[in-house]
Amino acid sequence: MAWWKAWIEQEGVTVKSSSHFNPDPDAETLYKAMKGIGVGSQLLSHQAAVFTLPSSTLTSASPWGGHSRCIPAGTNEQAIIDVLTKRSNAQRQQIAKSFKAQFGKDLTETLKSELSGKFERLIVALMYLPYRYEAKELHDAMKGSRDDVSSFVDPGLALQDAQDLYAAGEKIRGTDEMKFITILCTRSATHLLRVKCTRNLHSYFAERLYYAMKGAGTRDGTLIRNIVSRSEIDLNLIKCHFKKMYGKTLSSMIMEDTSGDYKNALLSLVGSDP
């Protein structure tokens, strides 16, 4: 029943297309959030801070006995979060095209130049087309050699491999031999055993997210990759399994384990608790 499948998929997403979407004002908002639009009253209201400097350092006095000057307040991270975490990937691609047309700059490269750290990594991940993001993550994971050197098995990757192998072999006529070669030649024996045992999609992604944050330190790459890649597929369903399995919500664990703009962006993508 196609309508039932479509309903389930729609219920599962945490990031949906924005209604009445127009990429041009979104692109302008991002531009102002990162670069400003010049000094003046328009800039002052959103992008500048007013500082009072001693009159001895400047020639013209202000009504307060000092001298007022508009100083750009820097990057408005919250504005970036509000736009990019509340638009679908397809809409983000349209925003990027509008940004380039209006301001002659590549949006992703501009974001990279303005942001830093884990927040930058998360926001830039949102700008990839889904298949390109998956390809990048696979490439990064495969740098070097087969992962026999580590005893840790990524259950989400094992699950994805299981689905890919099924799609490449059993599900369709013929065989995608390249897919088999990629998986079977680059995964450890432990990993491949996990692929064989993989069963429940949402439970495994819930487990993956939990162990990305459990204990000392955070596996930020795993956390970002799963939230970004599943936010337009089934993250709501994963959140429900997360709560059943661990007795706490995904968002509460994110709040405990992350901070700042990085935390705010993750929470915006995850959405409300089940």
Q: Which residues are annotated as a binding site for Ca(2+)?
A: 213, 215, 217, 257
Compute the distance between CA of residue 271 and CA of residue 237 in angstroms, rounded to an integer.
12
* Sequence-separated (6 or more) residues with CB below 8 Å from residue 83: 26, 29, 30, 33, 95
Give me 168's structure tokens. 């490449």
Residue length of the chain: 274
Compute the distance between CA of residue 17 and CA of residue 182 in angstroms, rounded to an integer.
34
Q: What is the DSSP letter of 231?
A: T
Query: DSSP 3-state assignment of 67?
Result: strand
Give me 49's structure tokens. 């801070």
Q: CA 263, 264, 268, 272: dihedral to nearest 10 degrees? A: 80
Token look-up 């997210």 returns: 209
* Nearest residue to 127 via CA among 157, 97, 102: 97
Compute the distance between CA of residue 110 and CA of residue 262 in angstroms, rounded to an integer.
18
For the beta carbon of residue 204, count every other beta carbon within 10 angstroms. Answer: 22
Binding residues: 213, 215, 217, 257
